[in-house]
A and B are shown apart, each in its own frame.
Chain A
Amino acid sequence: MMLTTPVEYPKSFLAAERRAKRIAAWSIIYVVSTIVFMGLTMGGSQAMKTVWFDDILGLIPPVSFLVGAAVAKRRATADYPYGFLRAPMIGHLASALALIAFGIMLAVEAVLALLEHTPPSIGGTVVFGRVIWSGWLMLAALAYSIVPMAIFGHSKEKAALPIHDRALLADAAMARADWLSGGAAVAGVVGVGLGFWWADAVAALVVSLDILHDGAQQIRGAVSRLIGAPPRTLQKGREDVLIEDVKRHLLELDWVAGADVRLREEGHVVFGEATVVPRVTDDIGTKLSDARQAIRQRHWRMHDLTITVAARLPP
């Protein structure tokens, strides 16, 4: 069977990917450490279960990224002749779903808290024989979780761009959701301290809307890529220059009278088809192989291009 050839990743890509994997691994270690820490200090309360659930949702994106990146490197087999290059796209969808689940949880909890109409009671805690307001301890704990998450979110976003990894970008969005909800909790504790009992729920609701919007966009992006929408840039969603570039390259060949292309993302790389109308057909096999080779050399991401010869372009 004809198997997709392994991708020759540029050195710069592999270095950037190694860095991204390190960041993801550290973020997993950090989240697991907070789960253990909170499990030890807070016991098995209901509030604790919610926090755990959030944390486990937060683990899905970095794990999806690492698994996707590892699976994508596997060589094509007779059972999977196109290879495993789409694995990161599945990871992206999983992360997007985790992100929207996080947003839904936050919104539902906030609405329930408002409906229940029970102003939060935050009293004292005895620390070394002195009574201090528990709110101060909560603010300290929140700062401990917000600052690293903000740093992780920022560095994941930066790391995702050079390797064109949407799963990692969704992971960055999840880290952002995490620290935003932490920020809402800070506003909530301060609000409760000032006597505005609804501050907690309202802040969470505002942040959850932002997260839901982000999650919906991520799902749309992930599903579009899986269905086979044309390659787009990672952040602004502009059409990838690759499409115009490949077409122009074909049109500039002296034996080509007309050309059109159709491309789709396969994880980190791009597959697609081109139709060319040749002026002359002698030695057409060599001409096609050369064109394919030249395009691939110019754009390593343009990994698999099938060029069809036709008498006229399809409509």
Chain B
Amino acid sequence: MPRDRKDTLARVEHGELRAGFTHHPPEVDCHAGGPRGDEVAMIERLAAKLEARLVTTCASEAELVEDLRALRIDIAAGAFDGQSPWRKRAGATLPHSRHSGRRFLVPPGENAWLMRVDRLIASAELSP
């Protein structure tokens, strides 16, 4: 416990991590060719930890949340915080940065996946 509803964790590990970003500089800058920034770097480390190939997209917050709900992406980043209204529509991780309280969003109900990300965040393995 907990298990995933749609096996996201099993699919991502040693497979492909599909990450969605939304432009929110400086954490995420989507206007510089590919996405860049601190949060992008954390997602890159997450992919490395899981030995997964990283595939990125940039979209609006609303589009990212719909992509999460349809399981088209596995994680979304873009300076989402604990007060984000999107939290009701998707799952939110633990804060990955203690002082800003920023979080990543994950597909709703993918709780094994969420727990795995939460553990990596809490052990500071994604931090620079």
Contacts and interface: CB of A to CB of B under 8 A. Distances in A.
A121 B5 CA distance: 10
B94 A119 contact: no
Nearest to A130: B122
Given A118-B89, A121-B106, A126 B122 contact: yes
Interface stretch (B35-43, B54-62, B108-116): B108-116
Nearest to B7: A195
B67 interface: no
A131 B69 CA distance: 25
- The size class of the interface chain B forms with chain A is 20 to 34
B3 interface: yes
A194 interface: yes
Contacts of A120: 108-109
Which secondary structure dominates where chain B touches chain A?
mixed
B91 A194 contact: no
B1 A123 contact: no
A123 B75 CA distance: 14
A186 to B, nearest CB: 13
A192 B109 contact: yes
B22 interface: no
Given A193-B3, A195-B3, A118 B108 contact: yes
Contact of B118 (A123, A193, A194): A123
B119 interface: yes
B2 interface: yes
Given A192-B2, A193-B1, A124 B118 contact: yes
A185 to B, nearest CB: 16
A194 B1 CA distance: 6
Contacts of B3: 193-195
Nearest to A194: B3
A195 to B, nearest CB: 4
Contacts of A192: 2, 109, 111
Interface string A169-208: 0000000000000000000001011111100000000000
Given A124-B94, A197-B109, A119 B115 contact: no
A121 B94 contact: no
A84 B119 CA distance: 63
Point out which of A119, A120, A121 has the most chain B C-beta atoms below 10 A from its C-beta. A121
A135 interface: yes
A133 B94 CA distance: 12
Nearest to B114: A123
Contacts of A196: 5
**Which among B4, B106, B110, B118 has the greatest number of chain A C-beta atoms within 10 A?**
B118
B61 to A, nearest CB: 16
A56 interface: no
B76 to A, nearest CB: 13
Nearest to B89: A118
B109 A123 contact: no
Contact of A119 (B88, B108, B118, B119): B108
B111 A123 contact: yes
16 contacts: A119-B110, A121-B90, A121-B92, A122-B111, A124-B94, A124-B118, A126-B94, A130-B122, A133-B111, A133-B115, A190-B1, A192-B2, A193-B1, A193-B3, A194-B1, A196-B5
Given A133-B1, A194-B3, 16 more contacts: A118-B108, A118-B109, A119-B109, A119-B110, A122-B114, A123-B92, A123-B93, A124-B118, A126-B94, A131-B94, A192-B2, A193-B2, A195-B2, A195-B109, A197-B5, A197-B109
